[in-house]
Amino acid sequence: MASSDFWKDQKKAKQVMRDLNGLKNLVNLWEGMDREAKDLEEMIDLFEGDEDLRLEIRERFDKLNKEFEQHEFEILMSGKYDSSNAVLVIHSGTGGVEAQDWAEMLMRMYLRYCEKRGWKTRILEKTMGSEAGVKSVMVEVEGNYAYGYLKSEAGIHRLVRQSPFDADHARHTSFALVEIIPEISEEIDIEINPKDLKIDTYRASGAGGQSVNKTSSAVRITHLPSKIVVSCQNERSQMQNRETAMRILKARLHEKELKKKKSEKEKIRGEHIEAKWGNQIRSYVLHPYKMVKDHRTGHEEKDANSVLDGRLDRFISAYLKFKINK
């Protein structure tokens, strides 16, 4: 940053600034907890049976311990993109309106989770369902270790409940696919041949009335060789939507290449598992009983409503411990 030509490359400079702020926040966080721990040690040394002091020590210790548990995994997140922002993509499975409603429930769950963590979210593209819910949605998540935490959510999520769309209230099973893509920094160069792109523009959906877009500002980019399709309609201008869509396309191409290499290694080891609807990572049962269970870690919660309201910390914590100990 002290270099005289630091700001010549604006994008790279901004990335360096983001990295610096992230590191500063991390150092300040752990130095703050260290100071609090030392203060508590001094208070314990001075403790002579005073009940008010005992209660204060207990209260401060519980608060510090909770903060430690919340952040301890960040130190263990050593993946290349764990500290990065993330793009969350949800696709409804087969099942029409049932699956689309489930996809919207998942969208709400993750937005609430991000809100509780203090992360910023922005819906980049959303395709509404025919009657209710969403067919697909893409959300940009900005926050420290967003990808490191959210990567545990990638996979197929299964819902079992009495259908609110069925006159007989029969029990239905719905599926939705969740993808988690790390935000790729500008330093990673991914070559894309313009001839391999099919770019379509259309009017972005709005709230109606004065909010209806009069111009075709939304952009859909299809990468013909990989058949990856990325859409963006959140920005006001077509140019901004195109830039965002290209950024997401590069991230998805990079992720595809990483998965290809991983898949080849797993095939050699004989560990490859086909990605199909039967391989759900988590089940959310709302009828005839209530329970959410992660099939990878075995962790389960009986308060399903709380989980669907964004309380995912225990599931994510269990997954991170599972991966560390694996």
Q: What is the pTM of this model?
A: 0.72
Co-location of 296 and 170 in the same domain? yes
Q: Does 188 map to a domain?
A: no
- In this structure, what CATH number is given to the domain that contains residue 223? 3.30.160.20
List, in sequence order, every residue forming a beta bridge with 156; answer none if it has no partner. Answer: 177
Whole-number Å distance between alpha carbons of 236 and 5: 32
Q: 176 by DSSP, 3-state: which? A: strand
- On whether both 34 and 106 belong to a single domain, the answer is no
* Confidence tier at 267 by pLDDT (50, 70, 90): low
Q: Are strands 171-182 and 228-232 parallel, antiparallel or unpaired?
A: unpaired
Q: Is 215 a member of any domain?
A: yes
- 207-237 tens-digit pLDDT: 444 444 456 788 999 999 999 999 888 777 8
Residue type for 20, please?
L
Tokens in use for 194?
């313009």
| Domain shared by 225 and 167, yes or no | no
Domain shared by 119 and 258, yes or no: no
Q: Give the pLDDT mean for 197-210.
A: 69
Q: Is 252 a member of any domain? A: yes
How many CA atoms lie less than 13 Å away from 123 in the CB half-sphere? 16
Of 76, 110, 127, which residue constitutes the final position of a domain? 76
Both 171 and 314 in one domain: the answer is yes
Cα–Cα distance, 206 to 213 (Å, whole number): 7
Q: How many CB atoms lie within 10 A of CB 286?
A: 16
Of 76, 103, 119, the residue at which a domain comes to its end is 76
In a domain, 189, yes or no: no
Give the E-state strand segments of the chain in sequence order. Answer: 86-92, 120-128, 134-142, 155-162, 171-182, 197-202, 218-223, 228-232, 282-285, 291-294, 300-301
What integer pLDDT is reported at residue 189 of this predicted model?
A: 65
* 65 and 118 housed in the same domain: no
- 140 and 159 both lie in a single domain: yes
Radius of gyration, CA atoms only, the chain: 23
Q: Does position 251 have pLDDT exceeding 70, yes or no? A: yes
Query: Residue 191: pLDDT band by 50, 70, 90 thresholds?
Result: confident
| Residue (of 39, 46, 45) closest to 63 by Cα position | 39
Indicate left, alpha or beta for 227 from its phi (over 0: left) and psi (-120 to 50: alpha).
left
Residues 303 and 231 in one domain: no
Of all residues in the chain, the percent with pLDDT exceeding 70 is: 89
Do 293 and 177 share a structural domain? yes
Q: Which of 32, 56, 76 is the last residue of a domain?
A: 76
Bridge pairing between strands 300-301 and 291-294:
antiparallel
| The total number of structural domains that make up the chain | 3
Give domain status of residue 276, yes or no: no
Cα–Cα distances in Å, from 173 out to 70, 92, 127, 160, 164?
33, 12, 22, 5, 12
Question: In this structure, is residue 146 part of a structural domain?
Answer: yes
Q: Are 99 and 157 members of one domain?
A: yes
For residue 142, the cross-strand partners are 120
What is the span of the domain harbouring residue 228? 194-268
- How far, in Å, CA of 171 to CA of 287, rounded? 7
- Is residue 100 domain-shared with residue 147, that is, in the same domain? yes
User: Any idea what the CATH number is for the domain that residue 127 is in?
Assistant: 3.30.70.1660
**Pair type for strands 155-162 and 282-285:** parallel
Residue 312 carries which DSSP code? -
pLDDT at 311: 96
Same domain? 172 vs 297: yes
95 burial class (0-12, 13-18, 19+ CB within 10 angstroms)?
middle
- The predicted-structure confidence for 12-52, as pLDDT tens digits, reads as follows 888 788 888 878 888 999 999 999 999 999 999 988 888 88
Checking phi first, is residue 220 left (phi over 0); if not, alpha (psi -120 to 50) or beta? beta
Reported as a single tens digit per residue, the pLDDT across 99-126 is: 999 999 999 999 999 999 999 999 988 9
Lowest mean pLDDT among 42-46, 167-171, 266-270, 281-285: 266-270
Please indicate, yes or no, if residue 275 is contained in any of the structural domains.
no
Domain membership of residue 274 (yes or no) is no
